[in-house]
Amino acid sequence: MSKADEVIETIDDGDFSKVDSLIQESLKQDDDQTKFSLAETLMSRGLSVQAKVVYEHLLNLYPSEGQILSRLAEIAVSDGKSDLALDYISQITPDSPAYAENLLVSADIYQSQALYEVSEQKLLTGIREFPDEEVFKFALAEVYFDENKFSKAITYYDMLLDMGIKNYSGISIVLRKASSLAGDGQYEAAISAYEDLNAIELNEDAQFQLGFLYNQVKNYNKSITVLKKLLDTNRDYPTAYPILAEDYLNIKKNSDAFKYAQLGLNLNELDDRLYQIAFESGTPEDPENAIKIIEKGIKTVDNPMPLIIKLSDYYITKGQFKSNLDLLSDRDINNTPKLIWNLAKSQFETDDIKQAQENILLVLDDFKDNLDYLSDLIEILRSTENKAVLKAALQLYLKQDPDNEDMQELLNQISE
């Protein structure tokens, strides 16, 4: 029995105390082919530290051997030593039997460093030099997929599918293509691809993606069917809730939208979209509870401004101007023109004319093409002595709505 065999036998017995010493004996006594086989076995079992000892010994004997350099490069990559890996790789020449592996490992290294163009070139060289090796096509498709270059990824996934390869290294090529079609905005084609997946391929993530795609093409009922089936098997899939709640909101089933928005918030209280949907769907039937939910969201989410705008707009629509003033009190709204407009309107309606005029004029440039804003501006200015600005506002309004007789009459009056 060779010392290499003893190493493996000892490992199989679960006794690692003698492994290192037995490896050293193997390096002294076994022939080089046996040593290489030992290193390969150790590598295949995930014992890269021990394998590295053997490969480094062999590299001293065969300093230009491509297979040894390639294995050491793989170990260096797994150890996070990319520079060392590239040093090993650079020593492998195109005439080496390990050159194909060299291209793959170097492409992997460059991809891990986000040097996608270099990685791409290595893989394109591999496709050119080794046209029958599907691994290069798969690896390049994965590079494009990771880089969000979905149309290019689709090209290479299609090549693999045309070769009859539907799975590679445990990855479904059909699923990858479907995801790429979705990422490329080809929603209808993506839906068709997802619908063709088998039960195993249509995992939870794929089901979510299919539901999302149905939502994107406004097929809300199918989206609901898919996402409810997903939640039947996993109620803790948080990203399904905003889409499902939005589906119900779009088909005007407010009670269901309200229900799923609240269920989603139980899993993720930082999702501002769920607060918005809960508020939109809840206010028609349960405004008090809906307001409590959005107020909680304002206190909870990282960027509450969209929620503040939504609640402020609601107060304005309902004529609850005092509530809107309370909402905006002590808030920094200088960079939010819509809230400044809402503040001005609330101030005007609560008889704070001076402040209303100052604030409504602050956002003139932002809303000068908005007839609703101009109507509010004109109404506020009519309560002041600022006829020059009122005249300018009326002219802006009539430029967009020249047939408005009331505005034209008002302009005529102040022009006399």
Asked whether 376 and 360 are in contact (CB, 8 A), the reply is: yes
Note the helical H segments in 163-219.
173-183, 187-195, 204-216
What mean pLDDT is predicted for residues 368-395? 90
What does the alpha-carbon distance between residue 231 and residue 370 come to, in Å, rounded to a whole number?
43
Residue 163 placed within a domain: no
Asked whether 151 and 157 are in contact (CB, 8 A), the reply is: no
Spatial neighbors of 401 by CB under 8 A, at least 6 apart, are: 371, 407
What was the pLDDT predicted at 102? 81
Residue 302 placed within a domain: no
Residue 364 placed within a domain: yes
Residue span of the structural domain in which 410 resides: 336-416
> Which of 89-93, 154-158, 201-205, 271-275 bottoms out in mean pLDDT, i.e. has the lowest?
89-93
Residue 305 placed within a domain: no
What was the pLDDT predicted at 416? 65
Digit-coded pLDDT (tens) for 271-308: 999 999 999 999 998 999 999 999 999 999 999 999 99
What was the pLDDT predicted at 200? 82
Residue 22 has pLDDT above 90, yes or no: no
Residue 102 placed within a domain: no
Asked whether 51 and 42 are in contact (CB, 8 A), the reply is: yes
| φ, ψ for residue 219, nearest 5 deg | -95, 75
> Buried (b) or exposed (e) across 332-342, using 16+ Cβ within 10 A?
ebeebbbbbbb
Asked whether 377 and 357 are in contact (CB, 8 A), the reply is: no
Residue 371 placed within a domain: yes
What was the pLDDT predicted at 12? 80
Residue 359 placed within a domain: yes
Q: In 153-268, at which residue ranges do the beta strands (DSSP E only) sit?
A: 167-168, 171-172
When divided into structural domains, the chain yields a total of: 1
The pTM assigned to this predicted structure is: 0.72
What was the pLDDT predicted at 292? 96
What mean pLDDT is predicted for residues 412-416? 79
Asked whether 338 and 346 are in contact (CB, 8 A), the reply is: no
Residue 396 placed within a domain: yes
Cα separation values, 353 from 316, 331, 411, Å: 17, 20, 21
pLDDT above 70 as % of the chain: 100
Digit-coded pLDDT (tens) for 89-122: 778 777 777 788 888 888 888 877 778 888 899 8
What does the alpha-carbon distance between residue 397 and residue 403 come to, in Å, rounded to a whole number?
10
pLDDT above 90 as % of the chain: 59
Residue 202 has pLDDT above 80, yes or no: yes
DSSP string, 350-385: TT-HHHHHHHHHHTHHHHTT-HHHHHHHHHHHHTSS
What does the alpha-carbon distance between residue 97 and residue 397 come to, in Å, rounded to a whole number?
78
Digit-coded pLDDT (tens) for 305-360: 999 999 999 999 999 999 999 999 989 999 999 999 999 999 999 999 999 999 99
Rounded to 10 degrees, the C-alpha dihedral 58/63/66/67 comes to: 0
> Which of 8-22, 141-155, 190-204 bottoms out in mean pLDDT, i.e. has the lowest?
8-22
- In terms of pLDDT, which residue wins out, 198 or 175? 175
Average predicted confidence (pLDDT) for the chain:
90
What was the pLDDT predicted at 139? 92
The CATH number given to whatever domain includes residue 348 is: 1.25.40.10
